[in-house]
Chain A
Amino acid sequence: MMWNEMIETMSRADMHKLQSHRLKRVVEHAYHNSTFYRRKMQEMDITPDDIQSIDDIVKLPFTVKQDLRDNYPFGLMASPMSEIVRLHASSGTTGKPIVVGYTRKDLSMWSEVVARCLCAYGATKNDIAQISYGYGLFTGGLGAHSGMEALGGTVIPISSGNTEKQIQLMHDFGANILCCTPSYALYLAETIHASDIPLEEFKLRIGVFGAEPWTENMRKELEEKLNIKAYDIYGLTEICGPGVGGECECQNGTHLWEDHFFPEIVDPVTLQPVAPGEQGELVFTTLTKEGMPMLRYRTRDLTSLNYEKCACGRTTVRMGRILGRSDDMLIIRGVNVFPSQVESVILELPEFEPHYFIVVDRVNNTDTFQVQVELRPEFYSDGMNKMLALKKKIAARMQSVIGIQPDIKIVEPRSIERSMGKAKHVQDNRKLY
């Protein structure tokens, strides 16, 4: 089933034409309505007239996460606030979140792309979807919600958490689609198996999982444990949220909705485009967004693109698995965590040495997040309570800056490795890529 068959099966030549037309329009819009983009283009000595086709995209400047931080909160908006009808935000590195704004048209485009994903997974208006992504500033909950409504299905807007109730309602309401992070899905699966309700009494058939990287092994485990087909939904707040792309029934790559989000793969060091099919950093240009257009936004996700027609009949480009990141961002329990955030907290507290080591793992399908710290010599003390109070103090500060609380482990002086070059700050044992 396709939601928008004309677009999803469009010939490459027609897609090229459509993208060219839309790129010209979005560049003009950004240039004339955003000081940020106009200044960047002027610095490179280009004007909208230099953009005549999608191939000219390489002339445009890149946009990075730091630009969003530097221009917090609304500096990248290209529509007046009177036209912005919704704000979303994701966690930032210094306590300031990344903020995105949507016009009414942006929201309707977003619902459309999520509906395309749902349709590609086999969802119909007869389905009942339990949305167990968090609702709020996070794009996951409301993104999946509006896509399902656009499709015409029934939405259970339960949000995340309260697992016992999740299972009860999933059972009682006969939900057949589950939307959440893959790690939460595993937790739900285990809770179902530990409950009195047999799996056969659930009607689940499709899982819509995203917001964090996951593996083929996790897919297999989820499909077996929940007796469903599990599909990836890809997205990022800066571009619009979930729905930038999704898998089809072939489960062989994530179809990107490239009539709205134009993807490029560049070498993360030289920033030059790589040969078709080669790996590199994924870069998106939003072709239709009004509120906050993104020109050549560097996602930092490493992957490759496949332009061959899919067995499902779609001609849209497919993205391979995410192979890693070109920066040091970690996604822990769905929260974006940068080691620099941990560092900033340690540097502001006088009791701690400016060294740290982060250990991330996954135990019982839940991410663990440990930060090892050393005390300055004069703060190692004879009092157990004093030491525990220090642990609490730094953990609480990290919670407020990062958004999740790490398990703090005080270690012996100089036991954290000092390195001459680039220090190794992270050990991620999860093997997600």
Chain B
Amino acid sequence: MIAKQLSIFLENKKGRFTEVARILGDAGINMTAFTVSENSDFGILRLIVSDTEEAIRVLRDKLYGVSVTDVVCLRCPNVAGSLAKAMEIITANGIFVEYMYAFSEGETANVVIRPDNLEKCIQVLQDNKVELLGASDLYKL
């Protein structure tokens, strides 16, 4: 249930994201989800892609600062209150969320979570019957 997320260091300069999108596109790699965290100097682009290993290879080839982080992706109905229910389980078990991002497709919503304790997070979500998305399924979205 552990998925791999890429984090790419980008200076706040015009065209940096465009270049990353082009490099991945040319390599035939699809982006499933991404988010950007930024300050005045630089941004960290976090993304889930169809082929993590290949993405790392082509990006490092182009000298990008890339790291890989384990995350978990939960799936819930795309209706009011369903995310709250899942989050309450996480919080009730003393797990801290460092960051998260979400994307929805019609009836369902997918939420990528980076908790401080990944194994425990997966365990409590599974114990409470929250649907988790397998890595291979996530990469295909």
Q: A412-B10, A415-B11 are in contact. Are A382 and B69 (CB under 8 A)?
A: yes
Tell whether, in the assembled complex, residue B64 and residue A413 are in contact, meaning their CB atoms are under 8 Å apart: yes
Among A375, A387, A411, A415, contact of B44 (Cβ-Cβ < 8 Å): A387
Q: In the complex the two chains form, what is the Cα distance from A381 to B46 in whole Å?
A: 10
| Mask: chain B, 54-71; 1 = CB below 8 Å from A; 0 = not | 000000100111110100
Q: Find B7's partner among A382, A388, A411 (CB 8 Å cutoff).
A: A382
Please report which residues of chain B, range 19-45, place their CB below 8 angstroms from some CB of chain A when the two chains form the complex.
37, 39, 41-42, 44
**Chain A interface category by residue count:** 10 to 19
Asked if A313 is an interface residue, CB under 8 A from chain B, the answer is no
> Of all chain A residues, which has the CB nearest B8?
A380
A16 within 8 A of B: no
In the bound assembly, the distance between CA atoms of A384 and B10 in angstroms comes to 12
CB <8 Å contact, B11 and A414: no
> Looking at A377, A409, A412, A414, which has the most chain B CB atoms within 10 Å of its CB?
A412
Q: Considering only CB atoms, which chain B residue lies closest to A411 in the complex?
A: B11
Contacts of A387 in B (CB 8 A): 9, 42, 44
Interface mask (B113-125 → A, CB under 8 Å = 1, otherwise 0): 0100000000000
Contact of B65 with A377 in the complex, beta carbons under 8 Å: yes
Q: How many cross-chain pairs have Cβ atoms below 8 Å apart between A and B?
A: 50
B45 nearest in chain A by CB position: A382
B11: contacting residue among A377, A381, A384, A412, CB under 8 A: A412
Report the separation of the CA atoms of residues A36 and B46 in the bound assembly, to the nearest whole angstrom: 60
**A421 at the binding interface (Cβ < 8 Å):** no
In contact, A412 and B9 (Cβ under 8 angstroms): yes
Interchain CB contact under 8 A, A410 and B7: no
Contacts of B98 in A (CB 8 A): 383
Contact B41–A380 (Cβ < 8 Å): no
Interface residues of B (CB under 8 A from A): 5, 7, 9-11, 37, 39, 41-42, 44, 46, 60, 63-67, 69, 98, 114
